[in-house]
Amino acid sequence: MEKWVRGEEIGHGSFATISKTKPRKGSPLMAIKSSKACGFQTLENEKRVLDKIGACSQIIKCYGENHSVENGVNYHNLLLEFASGGSLSDQIKINGGRLPEPEIRRHARSILKGLSFIHSKGFVHCDIKLQNILMFDNGNVKIADFGLAKETSSSLETEQLTVRGTPLNLAPESVNFNEYESPSDIWALGCAVVEMVTGNPVWNYKQEPNIWALLLRIGGDEVPEIPEELSEEGKDFLSKCLIKDSKKRWTAEMLLNHTFVSDIKDDDESDNTVVSEEFSPRCPLDFSNWDSSPQPNSPEFSLELFNVFEFSSSSSSSNCLISPENRLRQLVSGDSANWSFSESWVTVRN
């Protein structure tokens, strides 16, 4: 990779900053994601995951990595595609707080195609949100920020009380049982679609020091409200994404056959999306052909389940038998939980 010159900063998060960068020999404009030594693990993980996943039209390209010393500070750098349109979160602000449904359908399809590819390669993104969906000159969007991605069914490297992702977009099974598998990406996609429609987070949550109430809503019986202004097809699409039981939640392949997105014409016909040839179910009776293998613990949460499971302090596995109440209490107890992985990107300048 040719040498580059760091330009203006265009965004920053908890562990890294994003700057424009231009190679000295006139190559295309790129973005450089840089982290100091304290946060370089997420960049290393992002590069590793992107290398293993491979190329896909709906996933951000990585051109390489290197290290630099600037003003006496060591940086780990990733060279990435530059998205001139910023994130979908930026686009909502530009468009007055919400996006028109035709655009939402097109963006949802692109995200699903990216997720289908990611999941087919045995990975979970773990942090799908509008800030991590980037827009390009042609209006297409791509999934970015794989710093928290993990391999399917692999245990978390950190303690079981770690929160992996953004709290507002966490799936019920992630809150209750620390499970982060492909269905959690679909739940987060549903949250993102709601935000595109309304301009507000799916739970319409106002930031407070104690997020106990938010976690109870996510892990409890309450189902996120589906926007009334959405078409009937859109409402049905969201009802398949925001199913509390992860085993019954539709997969990316299933959702790509849903009428909300299936009629969208693809700009790029030569992508690597994995789409199932089977039929797409349209009622609960059809769902048996799509149902995943039974799991010992249902992620469905209710107050009656508080005392069903016993917490095992000797196990750090994501499948340990821990009661939803204990997990929630430990997550919001202050010192126990690690919320550092909920990286929030702040746009400095597009």
Q: What is the pLDDT of residues 176-192, one digit of tens each?
A: 999 999 999 999 999 99
Token code pair at residue 263: 């009629």
Tell me what pLDDT residue 101 has: 97
Give the helix/strand (H/E) hosting 105. Answer: helix 101-120
Every domain of the chain and the residues it spans: 5-81, 86-153+161-263
Q: Give Cβ neighbours of residue 6 (< 8 Å, ≥ 6 apart).
A: 19, 21, 32, 70
Handedness of CA 347, 166, 142, 76 (dihedral sign): positive
Residues 6+ apart with CB under 8 A from 115: 125, 128, 143, 182, 185, 186, 189, 252
Name which of 300, 292, 294, 296 is nearest 172 in CA terms.
300
Domain 86-153+161-263 is in which class? mainly alpha
How close are the terminal C-alpha atoms of the chain, in Å?
25
Can you tell me the distance from the alpha carbon of 220 to that of 239, in angstroms, rounded to the nearest whole number?
A: 17
Indicate if 137 belongs to the active site: no
pLDDT in tens, 216-268: 899 999 999 999 999 999 999 999 999 999 999 999 999 999 999 998 876 65
State how far the Cα of 72 lies from the Cα of 105, in Å rounded to an integer.
47
Q: Are 138 and 267 in contact (CB under 8 A)?
A: yes
Question: Are the C-beta atoms of residues 22 and 29 closer than 8 Å to each other?
Answer: yes
Separation in Å, CA 144 to CA 226, 290, 294, 300: 26, 28, 32, 30
> Which segments are annotated as binding site?
33
Per-residue model confidence as pLDDT tens digits over 259-281: 999 988 766 544 454 444 333 44
- The catalytic position among 127, 185, 236, 267 is 127
How confident is the model at residue 86, as a pLDDT? Answer: 93
Q: How far apart (Å, rounded) are the C-alpha atoms in residues 174 and 164?
A: 8
Spell out a b/e string for 54-90, using b for 16 or more CB atoms within 10 Å of the CB, else e. eebbbbbebbebeeeeeeeeebbbbbbbbbebbbbbb
What CATH number has the domain spanning 5-81?
3.30.200.20
The two tokens of residue 64 are 């390489």
Least confident of 42-51, 321-330, 331-340: 331-340
Annotated binding site for ATP: 33
